[in-house]
Structure 1
């Protein structure tokens, strides 16, 4: 073996363990659809091509470094994407890494801690226990909790610290706080989740007092109970949330129920939800559709929704689209 070959072999031996100790992964999802929509209370029907009707399009990078002794350092950088127009963010007001931007430590023995911008535990419970997942376009649960003026605060909190326990026989718990930093007050949340076999449940408490922008945000408090059971031939979902607007002194009772039925290589999805406020108009939303998987990473879907606010003309939406994960 000549000197150059020997040197190359030594470098390969020393570099191998270092490369094995850390990794960076690029990933994301693109969701595009065509359809028509008429908002509740509106007389205008809009025909459009849209990004993110079933899942908000996004891209991201995650990294893990093995620090030894079962301890690892992590980071996440994730940005939303409007693929229909080739723009970043869910809107022009989003920061570039609005979905996630955090660094942390994780251990199988004591759990994980992440600092920065983190997805809220209320959002995770909401999307994990309804038939339409994280669909802002078609999930009654997401629509009622996050876009109906019942709960304030985004699906992610900036300036936050999130602690999650290790998985203990299917149970995990978390504690979450977002520093106020002179913006009205801090946000706090706590949750417990149990998933074992076909059964799953989650309980979440959340307080929002941080304004987070130039426009003042109402203080809100919410309790959320979520459950699901997979019978194989059908998976059932149920959710209840009690959201209090502490600024306006209005209480909202939110009820959600859904099913996912395997049919062929896809699933028939259906979900019903309603909001019962202590003051103001109630809301009822139905969504039905079919989601067909061409592969583990690619699916096509057709969805229809009826959305009614008491005293206003009903709204109706329909979309056919495609999602690809990478």
Structure 2
């Protein structure tokens, strides 16, 4: 091999090594994750005034879902992120919470995040009110058994409008500033629909956590649109042997000119490999029947990702036959 060829070979090897290092660096700065949760149970449910239905259900404690997300490190504390998440009905093998639900109804967004300045997201995002509601009650985000979730988001007339996630949204979430966080969201006005907006402030430090959220909805996907304003306050205190939850909120439906007070009181008691949970809530409209819901359950951890649960519920609306239900189920995270 002559000197020219030797120099060319050395340069080729060096270039290949640099390309390999660049690829490894890019891989180290980016990542994509696949994750989700499957919740399956057997039990019985009876809505107030309705008929009892017994069978296998998906999502009684947490709506089953799957998703994938990614992050790219842009340097200087800045990163680009995306998140796409789809609800699913694992009992029938179909996507969505119900027929016709958008495929990525849980979340579909792209974000810019900075460690010092917070995160700005664009797309379909979970509302601050929904996050506040699930964090400050003992049953979390359970549409099947959390009195708070059922009253705010599935309570019929008097409940919040606009779903648990907003389309065409711009959302900001601040970093933690000594335990204090701020967030704001806006769903842009389209055509004859109005726009939505919300703002929330929370604090978590030691055993105490508190929150305050306000949202206005003028775009809810229904015809005709029902405009609502909701204000909610929440608090929790961890005593060690017991974590107590308190919520109060008011939903004002400007379309029907009705106001509804929603209160909640709950507790989570660590017990063995799991916890006993209890939540009581009332829904008291100015016009209409009062609703009272009580749920009790035990959650048993088989591992960090797999949990068994048993739950019973009493659900009463004035003037209707009593409702309620029970479930024995499993939640698995992946």
**Normalising to structure 2: TM-score of the pair?**
0.94
Give the Cα–Cα distance (whole angstroms) in 1 for the partners of residues 160 and 68 of structure 2: 29
Where does 1:183-222 land on structure 2 (aligned, <5 Å)? Answer: 183-213=192-222, 215-222=223-230
2:269 to 234, 252, 261: 261
Partner of 1:87: 94
**Partner SS state of residue 32, structure 1:** strand
Aligned to 1:273: 281
1:14: how far off? 2.3
Match of 1:54 in 2: 61
- Residue number among 155, 164, 167 corresponding to 2:176 in the alignment: 167
Question: Would you say how many aligned residue pairs link Structure 1 and Structure 2?
Answer: 324
Q: Check if 1:146 corresponds to 2:153.
A: yes
* 2:26 match: secondary structure: helix
Aligned counterpart for 1:98 among listed residues 79, 100, 105: 105
Aligned partner of 2:131 in structure 1 is: 124
Which of residues 59, 71, 74 in structure 1 aligns to 2:78? Answer: 71
Other-structure match for 1:250: 258
Q: Residue by residue, what CA displacement relative to the aligned partner does 1:240-273 show, whole Å, maximum 9, x if unpaired?
A: 0011011101110111000000000000000000
8 A contact 1:185–1:211 mirrored in 2:
no
CA separation of 1:314 and 1:299: change in aligned 2, threshold 3 A: same
Structure 1 gap ranges (5+): none
Pick one of 107, 115, 124 that aligns with 1:108: 115
Q: Deviations along 1:11-41, whole A, 9 cap, x unmatched? A: 4322211111111111000000000111111
CA contact (8 A) 1:183 1:210 kept: no
CA deviations on 1:42-72 (whole Å, 9 max, x unpaired) are: 2x21111000000000000111111111110
Q: Are positions 1:15 and 2:15 aligned together? A: no
| Aligned position for 2:324 | 316
Structure 2 residues without counterparts, runs of 5 or longer: 1-8
RMSD over aligned Cα, in angstroms?
1.6
Q: Is the 8 A contact 1:183 1:212 kept in 2?
A: no
Find the aligned partners of 2:146 and 2:86 in 1 and give their Cα distance: 21
Aligned counterparts of 2:234 and 2:162: Cα–Cα separation in 1: 20
Q: CA contact under 8 A between 2:241 and 2:270: conserved in structure 1?
A: yes
Who wins on radius of gyration, i.e. which is larger? 2
Aligned 8 A contact 1:183 1:211 in 2: no
1:199 deviates by: 1.1
Q: What secondary structure, in the 3-state scheme, does the structure 1 residue paired with 2:161 have?
A: coil
User: Which of 288, 294, 297 matches 1:286?
Assistant: 294
Runs of 4+ in 1 over 6 A off after TM superposition: 1-8
CA distance in 2, matches of 1:146, 1:290: 24
